């Protein structure tokens, strides 16, 4: 079975969760190649149409697997008779900002068209599928996996030595780059400025190995996003047994379950401060057990995606 992955590299590389999923499915005997998309918006993606058609002709894949709605749109136009699987991750359907409700959500409209045109759609949460009234017979909910060999608990002292962090300071790891609007870093910054001896760390420019160490070096993980699909940072933090404070976005409530030390917060400075203080008093959680319980490990998720491939090819 040959699969062509169509995905954006506007960040400079294929998204880690796409790459890690591919590497896991390879172990099941599937062959993969990538077609990397560079460009923003519909017009930017359409410039990649001719190169994608050429790639399909040369590689002759059995399946095209597109990640995100715009990649799905491009693949739908280029695929010919090749079956198409599209994974919708959330920001291709969710509003970028809750205050944008009066503006047309073109990505959502486009994603709906892609879903009705592809052969099977994967949604990382049920809510995302419901937002576009997805057809149940050609839809499945499969969150992105967590590589438990990459993300695991490490002693805080050892992890802090790597970054030369002070043993006396409080460190909070923010879920993304401060410059990503949907992550709402101003809320995180304002809350953290009101707690003495606390430094907020921006998650930007680190290797996967370093992200694992950073999660273990920090006292808690903080998510203040406006919207999310199935937040990968949250699941990786849970795999490291870290306390977490998060706004109620995506499937956060479900992933948390009853895990002590994981706190949902209202998107208000006072409530974020209150929950950060609760998390700082908690220490290690049992989040890793919750990830295993939910079947979010690499092996389980990769097999579920492989079953989608077989369904599309009618194996």
CATH number of the domain bearing residue 263: 3.40.50.2000
Q: Per-block average pLDDT, block size 10, for the chain (315 residues)?
A: 94 87 96 93 89 97 96 96 95 66 74 95 94 93 95 96 96 96 96 97 95 98 93 96 96 96 97 98 95 96 97 89
Question: Using the 8-state DSSP alphabet, how is residue 7 labeled?
Answer: E
Let me know whether 182 and 271 are in one domain: yes
**pLDDT of the residue at 12:** 77
In a domain, 18, yes or no: yes
In a domain, 218, yes or no: yes
**pLDDT of the residue at 229:** 84
Q: Which of 172, 182, 194 is nearest to 224 (CA)?
A: 182
Let me know whether 245 and 138 are in one domain: no
Q: What is the pLDDT of residues 230-275, one digit of tens each?
A: 899 999 999 999 999 999 998 999 999 999 999 999 999 999 999 9
In a domain, 150, yes or no: no
| Residue 311, CA atoms < 13 Å, CB-side half-sphere | 16
Main-chain dihedrals φ then ψ at residue 172, nearest 5 degrees: -120, 130
List the domain range (segments joined by +) for residue 218.
156-293
- Using alpha carbons only, what angle is made at residue 193 by residues 187 and 195, rounded to the nearest 5 degrees? 115
**pLDDT of the residue at 96:** 57
Question: Using the 8-state DSSP alphabet, how is residue 283 labeled?
Answer: -
Q: How many domains does the chain have?
A: 2
Let me know whether 162 and 286 are in one domain: yes
Q: What is the pLDDT of residues 105-143, one digit of tens each?
A: 778 889 999 999 999 999 999 999 999 999 999 999 999
Let me know whether 162 and 289 are in one domain: yes
**pLDDT of the residue at 137:** 93
Let me know whether 120 and 207 are in one domain: no
Contact call for residues 93 and 115 (beta carbons, < 8 A): no
Let me know whether 10 and 125 are in one domain: yes
Let me know whether 169 and 140 are in one domain: no
Within 8 A by CB and 6+ apart from 128, the residues are 88, 90, 93, 94, 229
Let me know whether 286 and 302 are in one domain: no
Residue 99 vs residues 50, 96, 102, 103, 105: alpha-carbon distances, Å: 37, 9, 8, 9, 12
Within 8 A by CB and 6+ apart from 203, the residues are 173, 174, 175, 176, 177, 211, 214, 233
Let me know whether 87 and 205 are in one domain: no
Let me know whether 175 and 200 are in one domain: yes
**pLDDT of the residue at 156:** 95
| Residue 230, CA atoms < 13 Å, CB-side half-sphere | 24
In a domain, 151, yes or no: no
**pLDDT of the residue at 97:** 55
Let me know whether 284 and 173 are in one domain: yes
Main-chain dihedrals φ then ψ at residue 44, nearest 5 degrees: -65, -40
Q: Is the pTM of this model over 0.85?
A: yes
How far apart are alpha carbons 3 and 56 in whole angstroms? 10
In a domain, 228, yes or no: yes
């Amino acid at each position: 079975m040959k699969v062509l992955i169509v995905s954006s590299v506007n960040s400079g590389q294929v998204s880690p969760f796409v790459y890690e999923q591919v590497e896991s499915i390879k172990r099941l005997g599937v062959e993969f190649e990538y077609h990397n998309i560079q460009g923003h918006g519909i017009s930017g993606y359409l410039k990649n149409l001719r190169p994608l058609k050429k790639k399909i002709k040369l590689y002759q894949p059995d399946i095209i697997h597109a990640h995100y709605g715009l990649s799905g749109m491009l693949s739908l136009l280029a695929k010919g008779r090749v079956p198409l699987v599209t994974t919708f991750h959330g920001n291709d359907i969710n509003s970028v900002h809750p205050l944008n409700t009066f503006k047309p959500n073109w990505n959502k409209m486009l994603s709906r068209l892609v879903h009705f045109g592809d052969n099977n759609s994967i949604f990382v949460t049920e809510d995302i599928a419901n937002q576009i009234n997805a057809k149940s017979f050609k839809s499945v909910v499969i969150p992105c996996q967590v590589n438990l060999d990459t993300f695991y608990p490490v002693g805080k002292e050892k992890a802090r030595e790597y970054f030369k962090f002070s043993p006396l300071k409080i460190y909070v790891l923010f879920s993304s780059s401060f410059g990503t609007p949907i992550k709402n870093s101003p809320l995180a910054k304002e809350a953290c400025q009101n707690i003495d001896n606390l430094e907020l760390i921006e998650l930007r420019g680190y290797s996967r190995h370093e992200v694992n160490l950073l999660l273990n070096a920090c006292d808690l993980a903080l998510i203040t996003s406006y919207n999310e699909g199935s937040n990968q940072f949250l699941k990786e933090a849970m795999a490291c047994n870290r306390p977490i404070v998060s706004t109620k976005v995506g499937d956060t409530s479900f992933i948390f379950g009853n895990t002590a030390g994981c706190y949902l917060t209202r998107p208000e400075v006072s409530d974020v401060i209150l929950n950060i203080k609760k998390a700082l008093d908690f220490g290690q959680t049992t989040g890793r057990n919750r990830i295993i319980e939910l079947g979010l490990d690499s092996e389980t998720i990769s097999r579920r995606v492989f079953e989608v491939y077989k369904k599309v090819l009618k194996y």
